[in-house]
Amino acid sequence: MRYFIELAYRGTHYHGWQRQPNGLSVQEVLETALSTVLREPIAIVGSGRTDTGVHAAQQYAHFETDRPIPDSLIRSVNSLIPGDIAVYDCFPVQDQDHARFTATYRYYQYRLIRRKDPFLDGLAYVFTLPLDVARMNEAAQRLLHHQDFESFSKVKTDVKTFNCRIDRAEWEQRSTGELIFHIRADRFLRGMVRAVVGTLLDIGQGRLSVDGFEQIIAARDRKRAGRSAPAEGLSLVAVGYPDNLFEKR
């Protein structure tokens, strides 16, 4: 039977979501804990692969087992994993439900703070230079009118298409001066959000025009875009699924 788990993690000490040959990943930690509790090898599939140092306030993954799921599963798994990973829920789904392919959207936030804050260390990017947020938002809106985002993708990737459908892209400026970039799409390319944020910061500093930003999108060339923003500011905050997936919850 197939089960979904809902979880969250602080990605600071992990080499991303996916198993790596030379570094500890969130997937490996969870698979080890689930295999221990269920007393059989468990492999999990996540809704997406967050990069090294990227966080998740909400992530989903699925696994399969023929064994009964104990009522104590969540408590037992949480007792075996570090404090920077937490499992919130586990529920059965249909066999065709897939954590990655059934998802309808992913929603990320990038957090940028204007002064050093020890309570946000590793959770936000400290950026103190002046920024024109209005121009950054003007450029961000151009993302909604395009589909091919090869210019913001890591070069070595195995995807068949660079097309994504973005339905939200905007900067929110809070009273504290903190900036939150909201971006939601049906899918994201490897390194895409951090490359978009880094390029928008070039616009905010006057190094790039809004029209120049759109030209970068059209060029489909990663070398044309800005540098990637640091990983610590990025969090996956929500993953969407059809309502019927949660019927057995």
Judge whether 51 counts as a catalytic residue: yes
CB-CB contact of 27 with 56 (8 Å): no
DSSP the chain: -EEEEEEEE-GGGSS-SS-BTTB--HHHHHHHHHHHHHTS----EESS-PPTT-EEEEEEEEEE-SSPPPTTHHHHHHHHS-TTEEEEEEEEE-TT--TTTS--EEEEEEEEESS--GGGTTTSEE--S---HHHHHHHHHHGGG--B-GGGS-SS---S--B--EEEEEEEE-TTS-EEEEEEES---TTHHHHHHHHHHHHHTTSS-HHHHHHHHHHT-GGGS-PPPPGGGEEEEEEE--GGGGTT-
Nearest to 166 by CA among 135, 141, 190: 141
Gap between the Cα atoms of 207 and 77, Å rounded: 48
Which of 51, 117, 148, 158 is flagged as catalytic?
Answer: 51
Neighbours of 189 (CB within 10 A): 21
User: Catalytic positions, please?
Assistant: 51
